[in-house]
Amino acid sequence: MIDPVSSRVLTSTHLAQILSDRIRIGAYQVGEFLPSERDLAESLEVSRETIRRVIAVLVNDGIVKRERGRGNRIISIPGESEPSRTRLIGMVIYGLGHMGSASIFNGCHIILRNHGYHLIVCETSTDVMVRATDEAIQLRALMERGIDGMVLYAEPTAQNQSLLHKAMRNGIYIVQVDRYIPGLPCDYIGVENEKAAYGAVERLIELGHRRIAHLTMEGGVTSVQERLDGYRRALISAGIEPDPELIASYSRADGPDQFDRILDRWLHLTPRPSAIFSINDTFAVEMLSRVKRRGLKVPDAMSIIGFDDVPAAGIVTPPLTTVAQPFSLIGQTAAQVLLDRISGRLTGPPRHILLPTQLIVRESIGRWNENSSESLDGARKEDKSLV
């Protein structure tokens, strides 16, 4: 006689194998929920009590995770997880107090949590002068911790590159976000910076502007260079020769007074710029404030476009026209690509995934006004002390 208990165990194990096979071939996707107990019981022609025992087997094997009030989420592909995996992911990022970095983190965290992974976040200094050293310290700490992968928002230093090459040799998967380190063979998730910058400057040209300044930053970051390339290409496409005098790099080491020096230099050019395309919203808001302080109206005397679409862009006066980045989606995509690498679903050479942006037109840009130079003369007289 067959022992009923033994028969029940065999039945549950067999059914668990059937569900595992469905997950393995992609009928049920990682990150999604299994069908309800009722639907599974009907499709497999067993009782709901049996299905509960089957789910318990899958939970015990680390394939499914129970979520109260929601169901049974699939967190791994059977047979593809390595015993040595820790299910720990590291993130090196700076500026979590700012919307962009915080949204990247949040998007990444949601995907990893839903797949049963834990995220270790290492926030580095916002001071660019000490950030590189800080990043190297955090990278070493994460490597010693035994992580499976890493999401990286870091500076393109030789030290970082050396450490990351070592991490990859040790089997740690890496996905870079926002900017990438040239020569590092790993996946990258960013936006169409060059195309976005081109579109922003093209809009200014359509409004009649020919003298368009660009406020950028130092550091050799790829996303910064791509926006500069887009700015230049838009001018050249319109038959406008880029003027080196209209391109200025801000260095945080020089302090906020540098915004004043850059603006005053531009205002004393002949002819002066009638519009500014800024590398980010933070710089754009700084310039908008200083333009208004000199008695110039925005956009009548100076049009300004930023990049990022941070909350402040919509509440300054006038509201800032800007290029919106999908920060949360960048984080989500980075996490999914990382998980696909870890599981083996994604193989082959590194992928560069560029997400689209959107130009958000607000009130800080307008048509070029040939009479705006009259208001500039008065502003120069009032602000000689700032020159």
Residue with tokens 């038959």: 239
Identify the pLDDT of residue 90: 96
pLDDT band at 1 (very low <50, low <70, confident <90, very high): very low
Q: What would the mean pLDDT of 216-245 be, rounded to a whole number?
A: 95
Tokens 């194998």 -> residue: 17
Distance CA 17, CA 11 (A): 10
Stretch 165-177: mean pLDDT? 93
Any idea which of 266-275, 331-340, 366-375 has the lowest mean pLDDT? 366-375
**Domain 88-191+327-356 in this protein, CATH class:** alpha beta
Least confident among 179-183, 211-215, 272-276, 318-322: 179-183
- For the stretch 36-54, pLDDT in tens is 999 998 888 888 998 998 8
Residues of the chain with CATH 3.40.50.2300: 88-191+327-356, 193-325+360-386
- Mean pLDDT value across residues 349-378: 84
Determine the pLDDT at residue 100. 94
Least confidently predicted of 1-10, 190-199, 216-225, 345-354? 1-10
Whether the pLDDT of residue 73 is over 70: the answer is: yes
Q: 0.85 cut: is pTM over it?
A: no
Which phi and psi (to 5°) does residue 332 adopt? -65, -45
**Cα separation, 276 vs 280, whole angstroms:** 11
Q: Residue 11: pLDDT band by 50, 70, 90 thresholds?
A: low
**Span 4-74 CATH architecture:** Orthogonal Bundle (1.10)
Task: Reply yes or no on whether the pLDDT at 372 is more than 80.
Answer: no
Chain mean pLDDT for the chain: 88
β-pairing verdict for 71-74 and 303-308:
unpaired
For residue 112, the model assigns a pLDDT of: 94
- Kindly state the average pLDDT of the residues 158-176: 92
Delimit the CATH 1.10.10.10 region(s) of the chain.
4-74
- Can you tell me the mean pLDDT for 152-159? 89
Contact call for residues 14 and 58 (beta carbons, < 8 A): no
- Tell the CATH superfamily of the 193-325+360-386 domain: Response regulator (3.40.50.2300)
pLDDT of residue 3: 35
What is the per-residue pLDDT for 6? 36
